[in-house]
Structure 1
Amino acid sequence: MKKFITTVKNIFSIEDLRIRILNTIGLLIVFRIGSFVVLPGVDPSRLGEAATGIFGLIDTFLGGSFSRASIFGLGIMPYISASIVLQLLTVGVPYFQKLQKEGESGRKRINQITRVLTILITLAQGVGYITATIPDEAIVINKTLFMTSALILLTAGTMFCMWIGEKITEKGIGNGISMLIMIGIISALPGAIISESLSKGGGGILLLLLEAVILFFVVVGVVALTEAVRRIPVQYAKQVVGGKVYGGQRQYIPIKVNASGVMPIIFAQSLMFLPALIAQIWAEDSDIASYIGTTFSDFTSWQYNLVFAVMIILFTFFYTAITVNPEQIAEDMKRNGGFVPGIKPGGPTADFIDNIISRITLPGSILLALVAIMPAFAIIAGVSSEFAQFYGGTSLLIMVGVILDTLRQIESYLLMRHYEGMMKSGNMKNDPSSYAVA
Structure 2
Amino acid sequence: MKKLIETLKNIWSIEELRKRILFTLGLILVYRVGCYIVLPGINPHILSQSQSQDGLLGLINMFAGGAFSNASIFALGVMPYISASIFMQLAGIVIPQFAKMQKEESGRNKMNQYTRLLTILVTIFQASAYIAYLRTQTNGAIVTDGMLFYVSTIVVLTAGTLFVMYLGEKITDKGIGNGVSMIIMVGILARLPHSLVQEFTEKQQTDKLLFFLVELAFFVAVVVGLVLLTQGVRRIPLNYARRIVGTNAAKEIGGARNFIPLKVNSAGVMPIIFAQALMFIPAMVAGFATSEDGPNTFIKSLSDHTSLWYNLIYAVLVIAFTYFYTALIFNPTEMAENLKRNNSFIPGIKPGQPTADYIGAIMDRITLPGAIFLAVAGILPGIAALCGVTSGFASFFGGTSMLIGVGVILDTLQQVESHLLMRHYDGLMKTGRISGRQPATV
Q: Same fold (TM over 0.5)?
A: yes
> Is 27-36 or 43-52 further displaced after alignment?
43-52
Within 5 Å, which residues of 2 pair with 1:39-54? 39-47=39-47, 48-54=50-56
C-alpha change, 1:207 and 1:280, in structure 2 (3 Å) is: closer
Amino acid at match of 1:223: V
Partner in structure 1 of residue 182 of structure 2: 179
Partner in structure 2 of residue 159 of structure 1: 162
Partner in structure 1 of residue 260 of structure 2: 253
Kindly state the Cα deviation for residue 368 of structure 1 after the two structures are TM-superposed.
Answer: 0.3
CA contact 1:99–1:106 (8 Å) conserved in 2: yes
Kindly state the Cα deviation for residue 430 of structure 1 after the two structures are TM-superposed.
Answer: 4.0
Partner in structure 2 of residue 431 of structure 1: 436
Amino acid at match of 2:122: I
CA contact 2:12–2:18 (8 Å) conserved in 1: yes
Kindly state the Cα deviation for residue 54 of structure 1 after the two structures are TM-superposed.
Answer: 1.4
Within 5 Å, which residues of 2 pair with 1:13-28? 13-28=13-28
Which of 399, 403, 418 aligns to 2:405? It is 399
Within 2, Cα distance between the matches of 1:110 and 1:431?
27
Within 5 Å, which residues of 2 pair with 1:2-401? 2-47=2-47, 48-101=50-103, 103-134=104-135, 135=138, 137-201=140-204, 203-242=207-246, 243-282=250-289, 284=291, 286=293, 289-401=295-407
Amino acid at match of 2:32: R
Kindly state the Cα deviation for residue 238 of structure 1 after the two structures are TM-superposed.
Answer: 1.6
Which of 406, 412, 417 aligns to 2:418? It is 412
Within 2, Cα distance between the matches of 1:26 and 1:386?
27
SS of match in other structure, 1:138: coil
Kindly state the Cα deviation for residue 428 of structure 1 after the two structures are TM-superposed.
Answer: 1.7
- Residues 110-143 of structure 1: CA distance to partner in whole angstroms, max 9, x if unpaired? 1000000000000001000111134472222242
- Residues 360-416 of structure 1: CA distance to partner in whole angstroms, max 9, x if unpaired? 111110110000000111111111111111111000100000000000000111111
- Residues 300-358 of structure 1: CA distance to partner in whole angstroms, max 9, x if unpaired? 00000000000000000000000000001000000000110000000000000000011
Amino acid at match of 2:71: A
CA contact 1:408–1:428 (8 Å) conserved in 2: no
Kindly state the Cα deviation for residue 61 of structure 1 after the two structures are TM-superposed.
Answer: 1.6
Q: TM-score, normalized by length of structure 2?
A: 0.95
CA contact 1:185–1:395 (8 Å) conserved in 2: yes
Kindly state the Cα deviation for residue 24 of structure 1 after the two structures are TM-superposed.
Answer: 0.5
Gaps of 5+ in 1: none
Amino acid at match of 2:310: Y
Kindly state the Cα deviation for residue 432 of structure 1 after the two structures are TM-superposed.
Answer: 5.0
C-alpha change, 1:273 and 1:142, in structure 2 (3 Å) is: closer
- Residues 188-239 of structure 1: CA distance to partner in whole angstroms, max 9, x if unpaired? 0110011001100164333222211111111111100110001111111123
Kindly state the Cα deviation for residue 434 of structure 1 after the two structures are TM-superposed.
Answer: 4.3
Within 1, Cα distance between the matches of 2:191 and 2:134?
20
- Residues 157-216 of structure 1: CA distance to partner in whole angstroms, max 9, x if unpaired? 001000000111111100000000000001101100110011001643332222111111
SS of match in other structure, 1:423: coil
Q: TM-score, normalized by length of structure 1?
A: 0.96
Within 1, Cα distance between the matches of 2:285 and 2:233?
40
CA contact 2:413–2:434 (8 Å) conserved in 1: no
Within 1, Cα distance between the matches of 2:285 and 2:244?
66
Within 2, Cα distance between the matches of 1:142 and 1:310?
44
CA contact 1:79–1:115 (8 Å) conserved in 2: yes
Within 2, Cα distance between the matches of 1:262 and 1:145?
39
CA contact 2:232–2:264 (8 Å) conserved in 1: yes
